Chains A and B, each alone.
Chain A
Amino acid sequence: MWKIITDAIPQLLVAGLKFTLPMAIISFVIGMVIALAVALTRISTKRGAFNLLRWLASAYVWLFRSTPLLVQLFIVYFGLPHLIIPGVFPEGIKLDPFMAGIITFSLNTGAYCAETVRASLLSVPQGQWEAAYAIGMRRGMVLRRIIIPQALRTALPPLSNSFIGLVKDTSLAVSITIVEMFEVSQQIAATNYQPLLMYTLVALLYAVFCTVLSWLQSWLERKFSAYTSVEGGMIS
């Protein structure tokens, strides 16, 4: 049995490091950019064209939070090639599986993180805006230098949650033919007839990845909490 495990681990790890983690990291980075843009749009109070933008941002968040991720993957990978628009997409939108995965995971995680980012931006006291405006900063600089650094501290635990969730959700990419970690475990199980062992093993590897990420989260939290006197935790 030991031999089966030691044979399987390198193959699983290669798939994990080649597809699972890169897919999760790239999607999360793109997702965060989307999240920040959506959150800023939603909290802006500008009128005119911004009304439409705000509506679009809300619609996007609603759409991706109220439909299953697996179905989203199917629509992007299997569905879009059939979206034939003469002149624009005469042959439908055909994406390679990895690209389809990145696009779907980014949009999905972006919708969830947009709400986290929005809440954390709003959690920074109004007085911080006022103090920054009073020293003559403009809105962009206030956000960049005063509001976002403070909001990040609040957003870090829920954002880490989303990221860890995303790492595990990439296993759904198996359904759009990506040879990521879970797919490899299925292939090995199909040849050595050890499904219990293989799926437990791949589960453990996901757990290892996520544990390392949790450590990274704690480290970041400690780094960011340097300025708060109460180091996390409640007053007892």
Chain B
Amino acid sequence: MIELTHLTKRFGDNVVLNDICTTFPEQETTVILGPSGSGKSTLLRSLNLLEHPEEGQYQIDDLQVNFAEPISSQTTFAVRQKTEMVFQGFNLFPHMTVLKNLIEGPVHVLKKPKADAMAEASTLLKHVGLADKADAYPSQLSGGQAQRVAIARSLAMHPHYILLDEPTSALDPELELEVLKVLLTIHEQQQSMVIVTHNMSFAKRVANKILFIENGDVQYDGSAAGFFASENPRIKRFIDSMSFTI
């Protein structure tokens, strides 16, 4: 379970996250929605400590992070073991083959035996439909393939939560679909996920919970069904603007 209380993040005078209090239930998929610049990526990146809000408490399982105080490297390390990040730009390691990308963390961070890590990596590649790409370099992959490798790379670390930051925003609709299908199977296996996305139909399909953020404020925090049936004019306008209904 992830719980955030009174999380506030500023960039200079600009308040990006304003007193956020929410939870991300385990074994469920939480989707964060909101217009560009609303702070949703910053919120997600805070969960991996890639951003450090100035104030607030962050609890993940038995770990407690107080953002008002300096965060020790042990805490950072422990939080990052529990969470994995999937980025909009994939961020695969270009100097390593796909297989090496997958075993890099397990072997060098988790100190797993190489043979075990390789066997698991092969299984994961099969799982995302890329068994034949083990020896390819990232530059030889399509965007959809690269993102599926990135998802497999995050799964290889057995994180409690996978955090996905607009995982399909850089992809065309066909490639986007490949990635979403993979995410759907992971969702069905009850992997805890937090996804920032602009794809409303996908959000509708997978979200157990929706968090709608605008200008750093939580505008909606609740069930997906409740969100899509909301009478709130701002939410209705947002949903309408995401589907082409002119």
The chain A residues found within 8 Å of chain B, CB to CB, are 125, 127-128, 130-138, 141, 145-146, 149-150, 153, 226-229
Contact = CB atoms under 8 A, between A and B. Distances in A.
Given A136-B77, A228-B94, A130 B157 contact: no
A135 B91 contact: no
Nearest to B163: A134
Contacts, number: 67
B81 A136 contact: yes
A145 B84 CA distance: 19
B89 A229 contact: no
Contacts of A128: 91, 93
Nearest to A134: B85
Interface string B77-117: 10011011101010111111000000011001110000000
A134 B139 contact: no
B95 A135 contact: no
Contacts of B95: 149-150, 153, 227
B48 interface: yes
On chain B, which size bracket covers the interface? 20 to 34
A135 B139 contact: no
A135 B94 contact: no
Contacts of A130: 50, 85, 87, 91
A130 B109 CA distance: 15
Contact of B80 (A135, A227, A228): A135
B137 to A, nearest CB: 4
B73 interface: yes
A226 B138 CA distance: 11
Contacts of B104: 135, 145
19 contacts: A130-B50, A130-B91, A131-B85, A131-B92, A132-B93, A133-B50, A133-B80, A134-B48, A134-B154, A135-B105, A135-B154, A137-B109, A149-B95, A150-B94, A227-B94, A227-B96, A227-B137, A227-B138, A228-B139
Contact of A135 (B96, B137, B153): B153
A149 to B, nearest CB: 5
B70 to A, nearest CB: 12
Contact of B77 (A138, A227, A229): A138
A131 to B, nearest CB: 4
B91 A131 contact: yes
Nearest to B83: A134
B56 to A, nearest CB: 20
